Amino acid sequence: GENVEQHPSTLSVQEGDSAVIKCTYSDSASNYFPWYKQELGKRPQLIIDIRSNVGEKKDQRIAVTLNKTAKHFSLHITETQPEDSAVYFCAATGGGGSYIPTFGRGTSLIVHP
Amino acid sequence: DAGITQSPRYKITETGRQVTLMCHQTWSHSYMFWYRQDLGHGLRLIYYSAAADITDKGEVPDGYVVSRSKTENFPLTLESATRSQTSVYFCASSDPGEAFFGQGTRLTVV
């Protein structure tokens, strides 16, 4: 089955800095890569996603890049703000016709004011 | 209310008891999932369902049972609760594609 590795597990930045979270996946057939944000005590919610026919996608301060050859994808947050502090999860879906998301272990992002 | 809802939000139970966590979605999504979230382990898949009457095991299915007689409901039963099943449980649904999560159930087994 699919295996997703996520790094780092904790990321501490100053407000205004950029943050990058990286994930690798094992199944080359995976074709959908969502990112979820989970604030303390809340449910995970989708913030951005990318499909395997696209190399990069942006939404305001958030961007995701995908390298299919290397089987890795990354989340980039620019101009971080304290409200960006949360746990971020990457996921890979679609390998072998499966629609089951396999999640990374999560990254705790702390943005210091 | 539209969306995906879980009940109860919090539950304390004793070791050996049977407990059922409920999940209901109003979108008629085909896929439904149960995950448990533990510190350091992220979201681990317990069971999933691709449609009514179709269920399959995920990564950590031992000690759990699911059913899906109707598209909108996907209950998770702990047959004989153990302390290692203390966790936060999330139900999710998808069309497939984006997964939508319920609010979570915090289960404590004492």
B35-59 pLDDT per residue, tens: 999 988 889 999 999 999 999 999 9
- The helix (run of H) or strand (run of E) holding residue A68 is none
The pLDDT of residue B70 is 95
Residue B65, pLDDT above cutoff 90: yes
Give the C-alpha separation, A37 to A35, whole Å: 7
Residue A46, chain B, CB below 8 Å: the answer is: yes
- The three-state secondary structure class of A101 is coil
Quick one: DSSP state of residue A9? S
What is the percent of chain A where pLDDT is above 70?
Answer: 100
A25-49 pLDDT per residue, tens: 999 999 999 999 999 999 999 999 9
Whether A56 contacts A37, CB under 8 Å: no
Residue A98, pLDDT above cutoff 80: no
Contact B94 A99 (CB under 8 A): yes
Whether A5 contacts A62, CB under 8 Å: no
Residue B40, chain A, CB below 8 Å: the answer is: yes
C-alpha dihedral sign at A65, A109, A44, A72: positive
Contact B31 A89 (CB under 8 A): no
Read off the pLDDT of each residue in A60-76 and give the average, rounded to a whole number. Answer: 96
| Most B CBs within 10 Å, among A43, A50, A102, A105, to test the B interface | A43
- The three-state secondary structure class of A97 is helix
* Total Cβ atoms within 10 A of residue B67: 16
